[in-house]
Amino acid sequence: MEKIFKALGEKNRLEILLIISLNPDICLCHIEDCFELSNSNLSRHLKELEQSGLVTSRKAAKWKHYQLSSIGNALVDFIIKNDEQNLLEQMKIKSKSLNGGTQC
């Protein structure tokens, strides 16, 4: 439980979690497109989300693809119901550019 709270205690990780929820099986390259973070910083955030059990990943060719775990899905449902900062809407805007993107 402590790992989950630690993972969500950082706004970037919360936003990454929401981006993954909006784009199931999203490739790392597309997550990179949504954030102005260095590769190492983004990788650290994703590792934290994986270690907390909120997301899972799979390797496809040279890229990792991320999806929510069952715990991650339940938590995103809770976040959406209590989203007073409209984070989900902000992430929808960020992820709009991905809809026409290439497949990895």
Residue bearing tokens 């209590």: 82
> What pLDDT, in 10s, does the model give residues 54-73?
999 999 888 899 999 999 99
Which CATH code for domain 2-95? 1.10.10.10
Nearest to 49 by CA among 34, 28, 33: 28
Hey, is 92 helix, strand or coil?
A: helix
Residues whose CB falls within 8 Å of the CB of residue 97, separated by 6 or more in sequence, listed in order: 33, 34
> What pLDDT, in 10s, does the model give residues 1-56?
899 999 989 999 999 999 999 998 999 999 999 999 999 999 999 999 999 999 99
